[in-house]
Amino acid sequence: GAGVSQTPSNKVTEKGKYVELRCDPISGHTALYWYRQSLGQGPEFLIYFQGTGAADDSGLPNDRFFAVRPEGSVSTLKIQRTERGDSAVYLCASRRIYGYTFGSGTRLTVV
Partner 1 sequence: AQKITQTQPGMFVQEKEAVTLDCTYDTSDPSYGLFWYKQPSSGEMIFLIYQGSYDQQNATEGRYSLNFQKARKSANLVISASQLGDSAMYFCAMRGRNTGTASKLTFGTGTRLQVTL
Binding region for partner 1 (CB under 8 A): 31, 33, 35, 40-45, 48, 50, 55-56, 58-59, 89, 91, 93, 98-105, 107
Closest distance to partner 1 from the beta carbon of 16 (Å): 26
Numbers of helices and strands, H then E, in the chain: 0, 11
Which of residues 77 and 80 has its CB atom nearest to partner 1 in the complex?
A: 77
CA–CA separation, 30 and 14 (whole Å): 34
Closest distance to partner 1 from the beta carbon of 100 (Å): 7
Closest distance to partner 1 from the beta carbon of 47 (Å): 9
